[in-house]
Amino acid sequence: MNKWHVNIMTLFPEMFPGSLGMSLAGKALERGDWSYDIYNPRNYAQDKHKSVDDTPYGGGAGMVLRADILEKSFLDIKNPGKKIYMSPRGKVLNQKMVQEFIKEENITILCGRYEGVDQRFLDAHEFEEISIGDYVLSGGEPAALIVMDSCIRLLDGVMGNEETAKEESHSNGLLEYPHYTRPALWVDANGIKREVPNILREGHHKKIEEWRIHQAEKLTKERRIDLWDKYKQK
Ligand X SMILES: C[S@@+](CC[C@H](N)C(=O)[O-])C[C@H]1O[C@@H](n2cnc3c(N)ncnc32)[C@H](O)[C@@H]1O
Closest CA to 141 of 1, 7, 15: 15
Q: Nearest approach, Cβ of 11 to ligand X (angstroms)?
A: 11
Contact status: 179 vs ligand X (CB under 6 A):
no
Per residue in 105-125, is it b (16+ CB within 10 Å) or e — as a string? ebbbbbbbbbebbbeebbeeb
Angle between helices 23-31 and 141-152 (to 10 degrees): 70
Which of 116, 220 has the CB closer to ligand X? Answer: 116
Maximal C-alpha separation, the chain: 72
Q: How far apart are CA 147 and CA 159, in angstroms?
A: 17
Interaction between residue 132 and ligand X (CB under 6 A): yes
Quote the DSSP letter at residue 59.
Answer: -
Interface characters, 46-85, with ligand X (x: CB under 6 A):
----------------------------------------
Task: List the one residue from 57, 59, 138, 181 that touches ligand X (CB under 6 A).
Answer: 138
Nearer to ligand X among residue 69 and residue 111 (C-beta): 111
Interface stretch with ligand X, choices 21-29, 134-142, 189-197, 225-233 (CB under 6 A): 134-142
By CB under 6 A, tell whether 88 contacts ligand X. yes
Please, which residues bridge with residue 187 across strands?
193
208: amino acid identity, one letter = I
Q: Does 41 bind ligand X (CB under 6 A)?
A: no
For ligand X, the binding residues (CB under 6 A) are 86-89, 111-113, 115-116, 131-133, 135-140, 143
